[in-house]
Amino acid sequence: MATTIVADKHPLDEILRSDRMPHIWCPGCGIGIAMRCYAKAILDSDRPIDSHVVVSGIGCSGRVAGYMNIDSYHTTHGRGIPFAIGLKLANPNLTVTVFSGDGDLAAIGGNHLIHAARRNVDITVICTNNFNYGMTGGQMGPTTPFGAITSTSPYGSPELPFNLPYLLAAAGANFVSRWTTIHVRQVKQDILYAFNKSGFSFIEVLAPCPVGFGKYNSLDEGLDEMLLYKERCVVGEGLPLEDLGIDLREDQPIYIGHFIDRDLKPYQPTMLKASE
């Protein structure tokens, strides 16, 4: 007879608010995987846990701020980045990470995203991209691939999506990468790297959303989308950035990897006297 084994302790207990579990995410959702990568990166980082701050906007990914057992700010839709800028500038000793979704960061918060990259403020943005607005039930967004079916594009999305690495590179970010939720080591390593990377870092993590997006697009289970990543992902480092757009039609590759790692001058507020 099978016996149930209950672990007394989860390796991430210290860093997650276990009293907030169960989380709200659907079975097969990839956000938890990305959050785990972030949590692991914090534990592995050379900075004290209490110097880490997470800021989120609104949406499924926005809930990460509620589950991480660190100082956390769950702000308004699209405004996580400017809130994080205020935190970081007021206290440069903090390691500030914005963890939010593609709709929050690239649609309603798109203006803040590009200007933060241009300003090159020393924060890290983790953007889970699940191609849709999951929390509101699966509507199209700025990253929905052309032709994909969503509840507000029932005949296929008529819009071309953002190519986020290309956008962030053009805007001035110092570090830009893209992985998926099958690339957990790379995601964690990049987050860890971004903590110590001066200036603006942007890590895009493609994540399945079987309930919001997959069900309309023949990716009914989370596993289906994971298998799609496995089949189609190609390391695209060195490719022209404009070729990194995501197209789910036919057998188009999904390019992943590190795309930008440079040292443009990070933002420093003007100071005429030594700060106190």
- Strand duo 233-235 + 201-206: pairing: unpaired
Applying CB under 8 A, which of residues 11, 86, 137, 154 lies at the interface with other proteins? 86
Applying CB under 8 A, which of residues 18, 91, 196, 252 lies at the interface with other proteins? 91
- Decide: 84 and 98 in contact? Cβ < 8 Å: yes
* Binding track over 1-20 against other proteins, x by CB under 8 A: ----------------x-xx
Applying CB under 8 A, which of residues 11, 44, 111, 185 lies at the interface with other proteins? 111
Which span sits near other proteins by CB under 8 A: 86-94, 134-142, 148-156, 196-204?
86-94
81-109 core/surface letters (b: 16 or more CB in 10 A; e: else): bbbbbebbbeeeebbbbbbbbbbbbbbbb
At closest approach, how far in Å is the CB of 221 from other proteins? 29
Nearer to other proteins, 121 or 260 (CB): 121
Applying CB under 8 A, which of residues 31, 94, 171, 203 lies at the interface with other proteins? 94
Confirm or reject binding of residue 72 to other proteins (CB under 8 A): yes
Nearer to other proteins, 91 or 196 (CB): 91
| Burial group, residue 271, by CB count within 10 angstroms (0-12, 13-18, 19+) | exposed
Confirm or reject binding of residue 139 to other proteins (CB under 8 A): no
At closest approach, how far in Å is the CB of 267 from other proteins? 8
- Decide: 108 and 81 in contact? Cβ < 8 Å: no
Which span sits near other proteins by CB under 8 A: 178-186, 195-203, 251-259, 265-273?
265-273
Applying CB under 8 A, which of residues 45, 71, 136, 261 lies at the interface with other proteins? 71
Nearer to other proteins, 81 or 248 (CB): 81
Nearer to other proteins, 4 or 93 (CB): 93
Residues 6+ apart with CB under 8 A from 183: 233, 256
Confirm or reject binding of residue 21 to other proteins (CB under 8 A): no
At closest approach, how far in Å is the CB of 53 from other proteins? 5
| Chain residues that interact with other proteins, rule: CB under 8 A | 17, 19-20, 50-51, 53, 55, 65-66, 69-76, 78-79, 81-91, 93-94, 111-112, 115, 269-273, 275-276
